[in-house]
Amino acid sequence: MKDDGVALLSLSGITKRFGRMEALSGVSMSVERGEVVALIGPNGSGKTTLLNVISGLLFADEGTILFEGKRIDRLPPHSRSRLGVNRTFQMPHPFSGLSVLENVLIAARFGRRRHEDEERLAESILKLTGLSAFADTQSGSLNTGQKKMLDLAKALATGPKLLLVDEIAAGLSHGEMESISKLLGEVARTVEGMIVVEHVMGFIRMVTERVVVLDAGTKIFDGSFSDAVRDEHVREVYIGKGKDP
């Protein structure tokens, strides 16, 4: 792991508009090497849009994105993936006619790790994500939780340096959240940085101490979890929307 003082990811003044609606307004943040950053905020605050802008699914209208010190904001998603930026989706859509293993193999072939033994890589990722028993299952028949695990497995198979995770724990029980948070802890050791999007503060507390909070497309907080839950603006946004951090 390089440590040349350059942030893994650095966003500066990211603005994204959909028509007249500004979904992101001048968002700046960085992810240092070895860091897991939680990106939180109420529904519609721009979390997924920010992941889309970082991964290249959407282009920002303004602002710059540096990955390992180099501009990536005009690159298409597959180029960013090859450089080591990949993500999971809030609503995963695997190739449903293909098996779980085939899905992961395609991602492995597409990603950075072409020199590795893809079969072995896929097997180890399926083990990590708890999907070994489903390797030959058609992925369209998986339940939502299993599809989210497959989506994570596909992202890992590309060999990401920066992994973006969108609401992987939404709708899970407390016990399930605990096991996913442990899994993310293991995943964090295999990548150089992560951004984890989630609503639920209880889950975030299990995952990391570094928090960025969005509200209506604006960054309102960037700091530690313990400061976030004491911050007046953060409390207002959550309690105002019926959620107590």
Ligand X SMILES: Nc1ncnc2c1ncn2[C@@H]1O[C@H](COP(=O)(O)OP(=O)(O)OP(=O)(O)O)[C@@H](O)[C@H]1O
# residues near Mg ion by CB under 5 A: 3
State CA 37 to chain mean position distance: 9
The pattern of x and - marking residues 53 through 92 that bind Mg ion according to CB under 5 A reads: -------------------------------------x--
52 counts as binding Mg ion under rule CB under 5 A: no
Residues 136-165 that bind Mg ion (CB under 5 A): none
Tell me which of ligand X, Mg ion, none is bound by residue 159, counting a contact when its beta carbon lies within the kind-specific cut-off of 5 to 8 angstroms. none
Tell me which of ligand X, Mg ion, none is bound by residue 45, counting a contact when its beta carbon lies within the kind-specific cut-off of 5 to 8 angstroms. ligand X
49 counts as binding Mg ion under rule CB under 5 A: no
Q: How far is the CB of 45 from Mg ion (least distance, A)?
A: 9
Tell me which of Mg ion, ligand X, none is bound by residue 10, counting a contact when its beta carbon lies within the kind-specific cut-off of 5 to 8 angstroms. none
Contacting positions for ligand X (CB under 6 A)? 18, 23, 41, 43-49, 90, 199
Identity of the residue, 65 or 107, whose beta carbon is nearer to ligand X in the bound complex: 65
Give the binding range for Mg ion (CB under 5 A) out of 48-56, 115-123, 170-178, 211-219: 48-56
Identity of the residue, 78 or 91, whose beta carbon is nearer to ligand X in the bound complex: 91
The residue ranges that bind Mg ion (CB under 5 A) are 47-48, 90
